[in-house]
Amino acid sequence: MTSGTATIATTPDTIMTVLADLPGMLAWSPAQSVEVTESDDAGRPIQARWRERYGPLQDEFVLHYQWHDRAVSWWLLHGRILKRENGRFELDSLRCGGTQLTYSLELGIVVPLPPCVRTRIESLVIASTLESLKKHVESR
């Protein structure tokens, strides 16, 4: 699993609210669509259907979510191109203010890739997501 971190100038609660708003991710992520198909008693998504484009390829996949006070994990239930997606956002309050956000991700697709290529793709996705999320949250 590949990981990256970002320091975001807001509270963990604010970031968790943004992360729980899956349809709102369309404003700051490359996803084409997301439909929450099941939610928990707190209104957070438990299962969602995503549609994303990777260059000329388009995929639809379903993710299952598990929510904690300062973290959310997810894993792939099924997809056409994606065959594995395990991810986690973990948040830690900083003494000086703000939040350290750690994003961990493991991907697998139908075409076998050398580990170094897979890790590079995961690193690019993580860096892009952290940058977009940071800009989105700090501009609110």
Kindly report, residue by residue over 92-108, the tens digit of the pLDDT. Answer: 999 989 999 999 999 99
| Confidence check: pLDDT of 140 > 90 | no
In this structure, CATH architecture of domain 2-138: 2-Layer Sandwich (3.30)
Identify the pLDDT of residue 55. 73
Average pLDDT over residues 61-83: 97
Nearest CA-CA partner of 87 in 69, 68, 70, 66: 66
What is the percent of the chain with per-residue pLDDT over 70, rounded to a whole number? 100
- Count of alpha carbons within 13 Å of 101, Cβ hemisphere only? 28
Structural domain boundaries in the chain = 2-138
Question: How does the average pLDDT of the chain come out, rounded?
Answer: 96
The residue ranking higher by pLDDT, 30 or 138, is 138
